[in-house]
């Protein structure tokens, strides 16, 4: 049971997301995208959700002005693929909160991350809805803390070399004389986060 690709297509015919589980050149990908888009957009509402394209099958479903399309082998089960698509939509809806096309345009990385938690090499790798969402939120928290920590640790060697700051060990605000409160608040905010960041990182 292997999904070959997942494409999100808007009602205007714009591709909003494409995930490929097999290796193809850009030209081949563009051709598939074009052909499949034309096929799916031309379907009437009461028509079947499955259609044939070359040697494979295409499964699609329409949700809120977006078409979710999956290409599968001719030997794969279409109904299960439909369920996989539905599961993906549910996860996105839970994560974004009433997902709309704009969310996928402006926050596309998360759409990919959710799909990656769901499908690995075209196969379902996590069937628990709760686990997928938990991992994505953990990832969010980790990204945030890691980002702060990394920025601060990169600054550290230079801060200690500034005359007068050689005794600074990273705790508390930077003792920069007189120059605006902005630098102080930056460093104190980061300094206070470093501790909590480390907990998440190693915890």
Residues that bind another protein (CB under 8 A): 10-20, 26-27, 29-31, 33-35, 37-38, 41-42, 44-45, 62-65, 100-102, 105-106, 108-109, 112-113, 116, 147, 150-151, 154-155, 158, 161-165, 176-179
Which residue number, 29 or 135, has a Cβ lying nearer to another protein?
29
Distance CA(6)–CA(49), nearest Å, equals 15
| Cα dihedral 76→66→93→71 (10° resolution) | 20
Which residue number, 114 or 130, has a Cβ lying nearer to another protein?
114
The interaxial angle of helices 108-118 and 78-96, nearest 10 deg, is 130
Residue 152 CB, nearest distance to another protein (Å)?
11
Which residue number, 42 or 203, has a Cβ lying nearer to another protein?
42
Residue 26 CB, nearest distance to another protein (Å)?
6
In three-state secondary structure terms, 100 is: coil
Which residue number, 39 or 77, has a Cβ lying nearer to another protein?
39
Which residue number, 73 or 93, has a Cβ lying nearer to another protein?
93
Q: Which tokens sit at 154? A: 């990169």
Residue 128 CB, nearest distance to another protein (Å)?
22
Burial environment of residue 7 by CB neighbours within 10 A (0 to 12, 13 to 18, 19 or more)? buried
Residue 47 CB, nearest distance to another protein (Å)?
10
**Long-range Cβ contacts of 167-174 (<8 Å, 24+ apart):** 170/194
- Quick check: 82 and 53 in contact, CB under 8 A? no
Q: Which tokens sit at 104? A: 């996928």
Residue 159 CB, nearest distance to another protein (Å)?
9
């Amino acid at each position: 049971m292997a999904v070959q690709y997942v494409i999100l297509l808007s009602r205007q015919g714009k591709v909003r997301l494409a995930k490929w589980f097999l290796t193809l050149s850009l030209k081949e990908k563009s051709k598939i995208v074009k052909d499949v888009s034309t096929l799916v957009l031309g379907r009437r509402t009461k028509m079947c959700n499955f259609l044939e394209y070359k040697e494979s099958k295409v499964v699609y479903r329409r949700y809120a002005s977006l078409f979710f399309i999956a290409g599968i082998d001719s030997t794969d089960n279409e109904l299960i693929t439909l369920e996989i698509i539905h599961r993906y939509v549910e996860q996105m809806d839970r994560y974004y909160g009433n997902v709309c096309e704009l969310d996928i345009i402006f926050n596309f990385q998360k759409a990919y991350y959710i799909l990656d938690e769901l499908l690995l090499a075209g196969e379902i790798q996590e069937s628990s809805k709760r686990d997928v969402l938990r991992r994505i939120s953990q990832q969010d928290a980790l990204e945030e803390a890691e980002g702060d920590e990394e920025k601060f640790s990169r600054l550290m060697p230079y801060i200690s070399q500034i005359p007068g700051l050689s005794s600074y060990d990273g705790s508390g605000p930077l003792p920069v004389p007189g120059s605006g409160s902005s630098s102080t608040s930056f460093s104190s905010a980061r300094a206070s986060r470093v501790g909590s960041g480390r907990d998440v990182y190693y915890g």
